[in-house]
Amino acid sequence: MKLAVIGCGYWGPNLIRNLYQLSDDYQLSCCDADDKKLRRMERLFPGIQTTTNAKDVLKDPQVTAVLLATPVHTHHTLGEAALEHNKHLFVEKPLANSVENSLKLINLARSKKRVLMVGHTFEYTAAVNKIKEIIGSGHLGEILYVSSTRVNLGLFQPDINVVWDLAPHDVSIINYVLGEAPVAVNSQGKAHYKKGIEDVATVSLNYENGIIAFIHVSWLDPNKIRKTTFVGSRKMLVYDDVQVQEKIKIYDKGVEAPPYYDTYAEFQFSYRYGDIHIPRLEEYEPLRFELAHFVDCINHGTTPRSDGYSGLRVVSVLEAAQKSIKSGGKYVPVSQREPLLQSIRSTKTGTNGAGPLKPDF
């Protein structure tokens, strides 16, 4: 199998490193317009083939799959070209810059019978899968709301705002863990340094079952924070991805109302303060696990956990959030509800390859 990575900037080298270490059976090539970046790849990964022309990759009959780590606005064009040349396709998040272009890639991949996978890396982490297991077991009770913060100082993107840059992670995590797609979004944001490109924003996801999720993203925060809180009717869970260890903490805390009272004076909430439980997590590199899953799906003709519809669910939220920001924070319905619901239902039943996965390397 020959795999080709297009884009050797920020994330591309991480894809190459993991593919290089995954197996000696793969041939690797990479493409970037910057010749200096290619020379660096040749020094770091002896034997890798390089080119500055993407057409060389697309026309190479030995290339089985193309992995895109390029700017978002190029995902549709390059992804379409790869699929037209009968290559399997891996696209770093988000899948495309619009719902329309995402659907085009999904439909083309289906017609060509090629694997289409989106790089929602957090869906392959031990922590997020443990959270999904805990919530699915009912251990936290009924989920009331979710709150997520993803902020740091930089990196400013020239072509997309902070919602398209950072929020895909949180949207994919929340959708994956809850097994639901939001029905509507409202969002507010502000551009402080470059007109039209918001550098701080909040996004509220409204789900059909009544759950609401709040996401705060920013390129203008002095601290790097990656924290998500799931508040249940019985217990609460905090996921702090910045922590090297103890990423998940379950708090036996909650509020209970009296089942019966005669007068307002008798009504009092009772607050529960219990123990903190820290689940043990299996240690492995999520990106390598994700890429191994991609190769396995190619070899066996199966559907990836983070398939095209998973990417579409995220892009639909980002697009709705963008519309909401431009309209001053109005409530915007999420488009393409039917394919999103069909996909999320198949995810719940495990028919699209979303069942438990275990690293096999």
Domain assignment of residue 345, yes or no: no
The confidence band for 348, taking pLDDT boundaries of 50, 70 and 90, is very low
* pLDDT average, residue stretch 80-86: 98
Comparing C-alpha atoms, which of 277, 267, 343 is closest to residue 305?
343
The confidence band for 133, taking pLDDT boundaries of 50, 70 and 90, is very high
The confidence band for 24, taking pLDDT boundaries of 50, 70 and 90, is confident
On whether both 72 and 184 belong to a single domain, the answer is: no
On whether both 208 and 118 belong to a single domain, the answer is: no
Query: What is the C-alpha separation between 215 and 236, in angstroms, rounded?
Result: 17
On whether both 225 and 79 belong to a single domain, the answer is: no
Domain assignment of residue 347, yes or no: no
User: Given this model, what pLDDT does residue 359 score?
Assistant: 44
Say if CB 181 and CB 334 are below 8 A apart: yes
Query: What is the C-alpha separation between 186 and 179, in angstroms, rounded?
Result: 20
The confidence band for 339, taking pLDDT boundaries of 50, 70 and 90, is low
Query: What is the C-alpha separation between 172 and 174, in angstroms, rounded?
Result: 6
Q: What is the CATH number of the domain that holds 39?
A: 3.40.50.720
* pLDDT average, residue stretch 234-262: 87
The confidence band for 356, taking pLDDT boundaries of 50, 70 and 90, is very low
Residue for token digits 């299996």?
Answer: 282
> What are the structure tokens assigned to 294, written together?
């991609």
Q: Specify which of 178-192, 245-259, 272-286 reaches the highest per-range mean pLDDT.
A: 178-192
Query: What is the C-alpha separation between 271 and 279, in angstroms, rounded?
Result: 24
Domain assignment of residue 346, yes or no: no
On whether both 100 and 150 belong to a single domain, the answer is: no
Domain assignment of residue 349, yes or no: no
Q: What is the CATH number of the domain that holds 218?
A: 3.30.360.10
* pLDDT average, residue stretch 167-191: 97
Query: What is the C-alpha separation between 8 and 10, in angstroms, rounded?
Result: 7
On whether both 7 and 113 belong to a single domain, the answer is: yes
Residue 51's H or E segment, with its range, is strand 49-51
**Residue 27: domain span:** 2-122+288-308
Query: What is the C-alpha separation between 124 and 128, in angstroms, rounded?
Result: 7
User: Given this model, what pLDDT does residue 261 score?
Assistant: 60
Count: domains in the chain: 2
On whether both 114 and 169 belong to a single domain, the answer is: no
For 192-231, write each residue's pLDDT tens digit: 999 999 999 999 999 999 999 999 999 999 999 999 999 9
Indicate the residue type of 299: N
Comparing C-alpha atoms, which of 139, 164, 62, 121 is closest to residue 292?
121
On whether both 33 and 85 belong to a single domain, the answer is: yes
Average pLDDT, the chain: 90
What share of the chain in percent tops pLDDT 90? Answer: 82
On whether both 90 and 128 belong to a single domain, the answer is: no
User: Given this model, what pLDDT does residue 266 score?
Assistant: 52
User: Given this model, what pLDDT does residue 250 score?
Assistant: 98
Query: What is the C-alpha separation between 10 and 84, in angstroms, rounded?
Result: 27
User: Given this model, what pLDDT does residue 54 score?
Assistant: 96
Least confident segment among 31-40, 98-107, 132-141, 254-263? 254-263
**pLDDT above 50: residue 22:** yes
The confidence band for 335, taking pLDDT boundaries of 50, 70 and 90, is confident
User: Given this model, what pLDDT does residue 262 score?
Assistant: 60
Query: What is the C-alpha separation between 348 and 361, in angstroms, rounded?
Result: 26
Domain assignment of residue 304, yes or no: yes
DSSP character for 307?
B
The confidence band for 258, taking pLDDT boundaries of 50, 70 and 90, is low
On whether both 195 and 324 belong to a single domain, the answer is: yes
On whether both 113 and 188 belong to a single domain, the answer is: no
Domain assignment of residue 355, yes or no: no
Comparing C-alpha atoms, which of 183, 206, 204 is closest to residue 316?
183
On whether both 139 and 73 belong to a single domain, the answer is: no
Peptide bond into 44 cis (omega under 30): no
Domain assignment of residue 16, yes or no: yes
On whether both 105 and 213 belong to a single domain, the answer is: no
**pLDDT above 90: residue 115:** yes
What is residue 151's three-state secondary structure?
A: strand
Domain assignment of residue 17, yes or no: yes
